[in-house]
Structure 1
Amino acid sequence: MDFDELLDGVRAQELDRMVSVMIELTDEQRRALAPQMAAFARTYVGGGWSDSRSLQKNPAAAVAAAIVGTLPASKLPAVLRRLWVSIAYGSGSRALADHLVRILQARGLTGNPKLADELARRVRDSDLSSARWFFELARQMLLRSTQAPQVHPAFVRVWITWAEQIDEDVRARPDWAGLAFSSWETRGTGARLSEPGVRSTLLQLSADGLIPRTELLEACVGALQATDRKLDLRGLVDFHEELAPSLDEIRAGHYVSLLAGAPAFVAMVAQQHLQALDAAGRLQVAELAQASEAVLVRPDKGLFRAQLGWLRAALKRNPGGREPLARAVAVGFGHPDPALQKSALELLAPYVKELPGPLLSELSSAAAGLAPDLHGRAAGLFGAEVPTEELGDPELPLAQPAAPLELLDTPEEAAEVLAVFYQSYEYWMQVDPQQIERMLEALVRWSWSDPEHLHRALAPLFGQLRWLQGEPPPRHYQQGSPGEYINVSTLEAINLCLRSAQSCAERPSEQRHRQELDPEHLPYPSGRMAGLRPGAVLNRRIWEVASGIRWAPVPVLLATPSTVDGVIEGEELRRRLLLVESAGCRPWLHDLIQAWLRVCPAERDGLLEDVRRVAGPENAEHLVGLSEVRAEVRLEGWTQTQAQRDGFGPITQEVLGTRLVGSITPDSDTLEPWNQLWHLPAPDGGRPGWSKSPWLSMWPSLLPFEPDITAAHLSREDLEAHRGAGEVVRLHAEAPGPAGAMSLLLYCYGLNLPEAGDRAATAEGLIALIGRGDLDAGQFGALLGHLITRSDLKLNRVVETLQTVGQAGAWSALRPILVEALARCLPTGAQVPPARLADLVALAVEAVHRGGSWEVGEQTDLASRLNHLAIRKSASRLRTEARRLQAALAPVAVGD
């Protein structure tokens, strides 16, 4: 049989005939056909033919038979895995697998454990949603193998989905019982137990003696210990509860480990089984103490309360075991909730007279972790002064001047930084502003002074990243109308800067410093574009660098910051202007504008004469116009009715939020696109996500001395959608200048970022603001309370971040923030309090006890709201924390 005849059989789509032919082939014929069949399979798998749903009239099924009949066993799994066979679901896939197994049997390969294992290894989760013929082939080969199957996660995830299949295979091969539970520790397999049919099948197999119940239970508990996915855990918990382990089957050590490390809903199941074991008198006191310590060290409140209830009964029942149990209760003194700390403390009150002196000393030392207002009660119980940490504000680090921006010394160092930038660039992460500025400065400087050296240094980078290779920017960008816009990303503009730098070495030296850069030749519209954002400014400036390096080099980039916060000292800008003048060049206009905006406004007048002389009167007038532009910003609450649609029809709901209202005074005709920085978003009441850009981190240095303008644009971004948004907030806070209303709004959003690292960066920014005295704590607290009232913020995130600020040494600055926030967000009358508001009140209690005092005059509105909460009849944690705050404020005298 030659290959053409084989191909005719494939095209005829006669699977039965193809199987018969493959079975009758000799080994010599297979070896002769294998090379051509391998080449055909590569082409077929890549392109494929139109498949029908019928098994017999399916060319892909015939191709599969030809592959199995000719190719060596080592190549079969990889080739078959890439072959898509579209056939009827279920019986069709099993029938095709039967045909292929017949061919493999004729070749003597059905007993090959290596081939069977490799087929199972290549099963993918996608077989769940496909015709799963490849899974069926692997399954049938494993069933015919003499060895017990190894656990391959994807194969088991597909296999354990069908209850009938589990029952059939385990009854045929009892050694397959291990697959039913030995893979549950693998992510994704425990979720299959959410199917009631799978659970009932496993239980029936256990009842029939095919799966030992003890091994099944141990495997389930072991998987609960090793798995962290809630989807897996819920299926495992359901199966564990259906197993209903008896008291004889419960091993206390395994369940104690679940108390320590498993999620709360799993630990609660373990807690209940251990409590049943203790109620039957089969749990030792040491094991109970160990379980209690494992629970009380956790922050979960439900588990904590349940454990205290269990310990209350155990302390009454076991007079001789109270010492280890008392030590276990003392672990609860460190819980973050003061109300639960108090519950743990009061649990020991009836038994302190029976405890020995050394143990009381231990408990007194442990009481140092209690809230300060519980220290007196602890001292009264344990008969000794509770050692307390020294309260009061730790010393807040003094605000330090911004560090100078370190420039790149050699072209090789510049090439290395560029390589790091391209290797680490991710479109969802924020770029490093200092890195970008240093790269641009180095390209401009070395393109002027030593382009050949720069060319040699960049050559390896261009060799490694071949997509960087291309043409530098042309002399004239615009094609067509003067207002035509070329939409190229900022990253592509940086790539053009590199190409320009490379091309400089190829130009004769007499042509390098001849032409002046014409701004009209840059790819930007002369007319105003609707919806323009600060990103256009950065893009515009980098386009100018790319063009300037190629067509009108200058010895120095004027806009490179002197310090890491984006500021340029006035004398440094004068030095750079003189350097450009002595070289006989004209400054690039947009580079000059950015440099001007980075100079302190108080120093600009002294530089204006130098600008007129070096850049010309017309460019100097552009700078004067920019200096006169101002923007006024204010925040307003708003209520908007939104129409939505669910499964039952349209519904409407009122949405509360905060909008910004801005205006420019005066409306100066400044140069595009810079005037767009003062065109604040329209007061539409929303914060739409404009684009997920990695360049948000560059915006704080655009206008370092007008942070509210930059904050107005950043606040309109959907910060939660941006990875690394906390760094943007930190950079904004570290820029010079006091924080106005929009800056404070940005910091409020920073407190609410979902990632803990981003919130930590926001805390660093607030600490920097407090350190240099630029944060209006009262205004910030008022805005924070306003947003909390409208449920715009998640209080668990806010409280955690503010506590970090306080622990850094800023408790005195944190107190007025909390006063103003609580004075606005504590409920009055029948208002429903925001979720977790008690955590914010507890933070205020901690702030009171951290030294210093508040004046009563500042607390008038806060005191009335606390009184309203304290007299409520219904018990709640919010009422408890309000009373604690009242008690903490009571000793404060007028004028303190």
Structure 2
Amino acid sequence: MSVADLARKGDTAAVAAALAELAPEQRRAEVPALRALRKELRDSWSGSPDRWTALLVAGAGCHTSPTAAAEWIGSRVFEDRAGWRNPLLVEVIERQPVEWRQVVTARLAERRAPGWGWSEHFPLLEYLVRSTGSPVPATDSFTTQWVRERSRPEPRHRAFGDLPPGRDLHARLVADPFTPVLAPRVFEVPDLAGELEGPWVARDDSERWPAVLARLAADGVLGRADLLDRCLARLLRGGGRPNDHRIYLTVLRALAPTADEYAERARTLLALLSGPSTTAALAQEVLASLDAAGRLDPEVLDEASPTVLFRTEKKLVRAQLGWLDRAARTAPHRAGPVVLAAAGAFGHPDRTLQEQALKVVARHLAAAGTAVLPELRPAAEQLDPAHHRRAAELFGAEVQAEEYQELLPPPPQPRPVPAPIATPAELAEELGAVLAGDTGLVPWERVLDGLVRHAHTDRAALAEALDPVLRAHPHARDLGLIAEAAAGRMTVDRARQVADRSYRHGSFRTAWSTPFDQQTAARLEEAVLRLATRPLPHLLATPTDTTGSIDPVVLVERLAGYAALGADPGPVDLGQALLRVAPTTEPAVTALAAAVGTPAGGRLAGWLREGGLPRRPTVVRAPSGGRGRDGRRLSTTRRLIDQEAAGAGLPEDAERLLDAADRHLRRRDVWWTPPAREQWTAILPHHREETAARLMERFASAADLDVRGGADLLPALAEAGGPAGPAIHLALAYGLGARHPEDRTAAVDALLVLAARGDLDGALLGHEIAELVALGPVKPNRLTESLRAAADTGAHGTVWSVLVAALPRLLAGEPPRGVGELLAVAADCARRCAARGPIPEVTALAARGGSSRAVREAAALQEVLAG
């Protein structure tokens, strides 16, 4: 019986015995059959653990080349099969010459370590290294597996050289001959930080890797200076996961470097000031202590200050200003460099830090002398206007503030959609990109239209061009199915099955499809059926610009093309085209539509004449805790939208989309929110208020359910057409208070676009913000970050228009926690845009007295508004 047959039976012992009887050339002859068996077991998922182990041992013995044997043993198909622990594998390997085994050992040590869990491979590798006398492999993989193995609560038995049992990591590493080689490498191997936080069975931190490494340095097992340099170099190098530096900081603290050791490495500490905040804080603390002890060159402080004072972390900036202050106090001859360094914080975005810097400069200006004034005066121009008077008193010249000018982005202009795709070859390329993930509105719509067009003009050429794409994406949905139908690969019965409106049987709808998705699905269902029965010459609803809008003249031309061919448009396609056509009051356009002479042309003429989709008033109401029209319980912490159905005799899915807004509300305990699609906002490109009302669940969930991506459609809505009413402003209020920074950024972008287009109602937005803060979904700290980001673009007047409406409601009664930061933004905006006029609630809060941030900022705002 062949070795492959024995392996198929899973008889590892028989495999090992058979290998002992074969000559090298006979073993090599077995390799093709073993490779075929490996593919068979991998493809069929039918291999038992015994089969895989027998196959592993068979391949290890039949590959006479050490490189090929290592490739076989280290193959991923044997991952987690437990074959590496079988003693017969060691027995088969040991039959080879020592030089052969050394090559296998070196190659296996280079093999990528498993991504998780204890390594099942390391005991064999360790045995091979020791038994062959090979140098300890210092590869990343071997080091990672070594750390994992030594972190085990109870070391596993090894065939050679057991280490001390028990949980004492320090004792095991002291007795381990690998330690001097591999322990220093833990600072160099990527993605090893998480492993160094263990062992997880350790009773306290003194038994974990950071403390044990420090003890090994103290014992002389590891070189202390080398370990310290490697640790600092790893902190300086950065990289890895965001929190990886923490474990190396723990190692550094465990090493507890002396002042002498730190002084020798001052330049490295200086470089660490640019690193993560925790690393920079430690470096700053050490450098400041060295400076206070006279162990630091004065130039180091001069170099450190610009690095730290430009950071956003307020704690670091405050500490740096404190260091500068102490340096000038203890050594007045350093006052000149100190005040010039402190002036670097004049441009910091936080007004309180500017004030602290100005105080440091004022305290040491006399000792610095007049020689520093020429440099301080231009630096003072960066100060907040609140500090200009004090700066003028100190520096002897009035600080000239520039006349305020609101800076808003240019209003975005819709970009035209390129002409229809010209050839089947170009269409195949575009389809491949869409199926690979390019699902933007314009590519998606052009490909859908192109499939319909070319199926009508030359289906044979289209089928030939699409064949490679369809073979590369055999299970594609949506446009992939449309492409199959366009290429003539779909029977009528199959097309009907694909177009089944039940999500359990059809291919375009799912249990979590939104009404927007269902409207898109209706278009695809209609298209696939027409492609299988009566192909259309082209689609009517393909947009002519990037918002989803259709030029009415172009739509008339498309309808005329249908009339010339005697073709009837699909009802869903026509309905979507009506929802997208740009409103016009030009009688000539209406006359052209009527002149088409078909029912569809007459429908378009009437639609344009009547102004398109009827607009329904939007009302924001307070939460009631009741139930919506669909019987679902409504939230008591959300502002809700009422808007009547806005249908106009359109197909079923369009009417469902345009149903009353509260039918679109979902339960608060919804377990998953589908990702937004650019196509949603393009369904009603001239009715963003209606779209916002029907997507309000998404916008609200970004704030009160911490859903990521809930506000990402806000910029597209801001660029769309139609009035921006209560729904848009409520959605924007939710977005400005969203949990995730990227959602708040999207909301800020939308805010600026609305302002640039003249569509922002600051009073309405401020009112909704105040209501949401009172209800709880929007937190003042998140709101502050958003409004500060908007103001920092130069839109101070815009932000003030929002805050002046929000503050009275926010400050009525007990101010919410964190409102002090928001008041600071308000004071800055009011000062820059020269706002005047008292706000009673601000005045009342300022009159309370005390040292709270809210009271101090209210007093500052009151002073600004008083002029």
In structure 2, what is the equivalent of residue 243 of structure 1? 255
Distance in 2 separating the partners of 1:111 and 1:4: 23
CA offsets, 1:287-333, max 9 Å, x none? 12323333222111222222323322221111122222222212222
**What's the secondary structure of 1:268's corresponding residue?**
helix
Equivalent of residue 63 in structure 2, options 71, 74, 77: 71
Does the residue aligned with 2:259 lie in a helix, a strand or coil?
A: coil
Deviation, structure 1 residue 214: 0.7
Partner SS, residue 765 of structure 1? helix
Residue 705 of structure 1 corresponds to which residue in structure 2? Answer: 686
Q: Distance in 2 between matches of 1:681 and 1:182?
A: 61
Q: In structure 1, how many angstroms separate the alpha carbons of the residues matched to 2:195 and 2:19?
A: 38
After superposition, residues 178-217 of structure 1 pair within 5 angstroms as 178-195=181-198, 196=205, 197=207, 198-217=209-228
Whether 1:696 aligns to 2:671 is no
- Map of 2:122 onto structure 1: 135
Alpha-carbon offset, residue 202 of structure 1: 2.4
Aligned to 2:270: 256
Please list, as runs of the form range in 1=range in 2, the aligned pairs for 1:18-57 lying within 5 A after superposition: 27-28=24-25, 30-43=27-40, 47=45, 50-51=48-49
The answer on 1:233 being equivalent to 2:245 is yes
Moved more, 98-107 or 784-793: 98-107
Q: Aligned-pair distance for 1:620?
A: 9.2
Query: Quick one: which amino acid aligns to residue 152 of structure 1?
Result: D
Contact map agreement 2:643 2:693 (CA 8 A) in 1: no
Q: Distance in 1 between matches of 2:540 and 2:54?
A: 70
Q: Percent identity?
A: 28
Matching residue of 2:629: none
- Please state whether the residue corresponding to 1:635 is helix, strand or coil: strand
Alignment CA distance shift 1:39-1:256 (3 Å): same
Sort the Cα spacing of 1:583 and 1:3 in 2 relative to 1 into closer, same or farther, 3 A: closer
The answer to whether the 8 A contact 1:402-1:565 is kept is yes
* 1:306 maps onto 2:282 in alignment: no
Q: Render the CA deviation track for 1:408-432: whole Å, top value 9, x for unaligned.
A: 352244444333322334xxxxx32
Counterparts of 1:530 and 1:286, CA distance in 2: 63
Select the residue among 219, 224, 228 that pairs with 2:235.
Answer: 224
In structure 2, do the counterparts of structure 1 residues 868 and 192 end up closer, same or farther at CA, with 3 Å as the change threshold?
farther
Partner of 1:539: 521
Distance 2:606 2:498 in 1: 21
| Residue number in structure 1 paired with 2:144 | 156
Q: Deviations over 1:441-486 (max 9, x none)?
A: 33344444x326xx5367344314415579xxxxxxxxxxxxxxxx
Structure 1 CA distance for aligned equivalents of residues 665 and 683 of structure 2? 25
Partner of 1:122: 111
Question: Which residue is equivalent to 1:477?
Answer: none
1:852/1:592 CA distance change after superposition, 3 Å: farther
Cα distance change on mapping 1:320 and 1:747 into 2, 3 Å: same
User: Where does residue 876 of structure 1 map in the other structure?
Assistant: 852
Please list the CA deviations of residues 129-148 of structure 1 after superposition, one character each: whole Å capped at 9, or x if unmatched. Answer: 4xx33122223333445334
Answer yes or no: is 1:783 the counterpart of 2:768. yes
CA distance in 2, matches of 1:671, 1:750: 32
The whole-number CA distance in structure 1 between the counterparts of 2:642 and 2:635 is 22
CA contact under 8 A between 1:659 and 1:684: conserved in structure 2?
no
Distance 1:552 1:28, change over 3 A: closer
Q: Distance in 1 between matches of 2:717 and 2:656?
A: 19
Asked whether the equivalents of residues 632 and 665 of structure 1 are also in contact (C-alpha less than 8 Å), the reply is: no
**2:450 maps to which of 425, 437, 442:** 442
SS at match of 2:568: coil
Structure 1 unpaired stretches of 5+? 52-57, 426-430, 471-490, 508-514, 642-653, 892-896
Please say if residues 799 and 840 of structure 1, whose CA atoms lie closer than 8 Å, have aligned partners that are also in contact: yes
1:887 to 844, 863, 867: 863
Check conservation: 2:664, 2:697, Cα contact below 8 A. no
| TM value normalised by structure 2 | 0.82
Q: What CA distance in whole angstroms lies between the structure 2 residues aligned with 1:468 and 1:194?
A: 44
CA distance in 2, matches of 1:498, 1:85: 42
> How far apart are the structure 2 equivalents of 1:593 and 1:681?
23
Q: Which deviates the most, 839-848 or 329-338?
A: 839-848
What residue number does 1:368 align with?
381
CA separation in 2, counterparts of 1:45 and 1:613? 62
Distance 2:820 2:25 in 1: 82
Please report how far the alpha carbon of residue 107 of structure 1 lies from its aligned counterpart in structure 2 after TM superposition. 0.6
Structure 1 position 702, deviation (Å) = 1.7
- State the secondary structure of the residue aligned to 1:424: coil
Residue 805 to residue 154, structure 1, CA distance change in 2 (3 Å) = farther
Counterpart CA distance in 2 for 1:315 and 1:656 is 57
Amino acid at match of 2:3: F
Distance apart, 1:496 and its partner CA: 3.4
Bigger RCO of structures 1 and 2 (CA < 8 A, at least 6 apart): 1
CA separation of 1:191 and 1:640: change in aligned 2, threshold 3 A: farther
What is the Cα deviation at residue 169 of structure 1?
A: 7.7
Establish whether residue 768 from structure 1 lines up as the match of residue 753 from structure 2: yes
Write the deviation string for residues 603-642 of structure 1: whole angstroms up to 9, x where unpaired.
599478558843398999999999676545433343869x
1:272 maps to a residue whose letter is: E
Change (3 A) 1:689 1:348: same
Q: Give the direction of change, closer, same or farther, for the CA distance of 1:177–1:788 in structure 2 (3 Å limit).
A: farther
Q: Would the aligned equivalents of 2:455 and 2:462 in 1 still touch at CA under 8 Å?
A: no
Distance 1:347 1:823 in 2: 36
**Change in 2 beyond 3 A, CA 1:180/1:666:** closer
Q: Secondary structure at the match of 2:620?
A: strand
TM-score normalised according to structure 1 size: 0.80
CA distance in 2, matches of 1:254, 1:2: 64
Structure 2 matches for 1:628-707, cutoff 5 A? 631-638=616-623, 657-664=637-644, 671-679=651-659, 680-682=661-663, 686=667, 693=674, 696-707=677-688
Letter in 1 for 2:180: A
Unaligned runs of 5+ in 2: 156-162, 164-168, 199-204, 504-508, 627-633
Q: Name the CA shift for 1:290/1:869 in 2 (closer, same or farther; >3 Å).
A: farther
| Among 820, 824, 832, the residue aligned to 1:838 | 820
| Kept after mapping to 1: 8 A contact 2:7/2:51 | no
Task: Output the CA distance in 2 between the equivalents of 1:321 and 1:742.
Answer: 59
**Count of residue pairs the alignment pairs up:** 812
2:334 is equivalent to residue 329 of structure 1:
no
Matched, 1:83 2:78: yes
Take 2:832 and 2:109, find their aligned partners in 1: how far apart are those partners? 63
- The whole-number CA distance in structure 1 between the counterparts of 2:732 and 2:693 is 11
- After the TM superposition, which residues 417-436 of structure 1 pair with which residues of structure 2 at under 5 Å, given as runs? 417-425=430-438, 431-436=439-444
**Candidates 280, 291, 295, aligned match of 2:304:** 291
Give the whole-Å Cα distance in 2 for the aligned partners of 1:530 and 1:624: 37
Q: Deviations over 1:37-58 (max 9, x none)?
A: 444455456646545xxxxxx6
Q: Please give the per-residue CA displacement for 1:320-360, whole angstroms capped at 9, x wherever unaligned.
A: 22222222212222222111110111012121122243422
2:467 matched residue in structure 1? 462
Shift of residue 888, structure 1, vs aligned partner: 1.4
Q: State the Cα distance separating 1:784 from its structure 2 match.
A: 1.7
For 1:451, the equivalent position in structure 2 comes to 458
C-alpha distance after superposition, 1:356-409 (max 9, x if no partner): 434222122222222111122112112233354543323x45646534333235
CA contact (8 A) 2:333 2:367 kept: no
Given the superposition, is the C-alpha separation of residues 609 and 341 from structure 1 closer, same or farther in structure 2, using an over 3 Å criterion? same
Which residue of 359, 364, 367 maps to 1:354? 367
Residue of structure 2 equivalent to 1:511: none
Q: 1:281 to 1:232 in 2, by over 3 A?
A: same
Counterpart position of 2:160? none
User: Helix, strand or coil: the match of 2:194?
Assistant: helix
Structure 2 residue 796 is matched with structure 1 residue 811? yes
1:818 maps to amino acid: L
What is the root-mean-square deviation in Å for CA atoms of aligned residues? Answer: 4.2
Question: What is the distance in 2 between the residues matched to 1:18 and 1:567?
Answer: 72
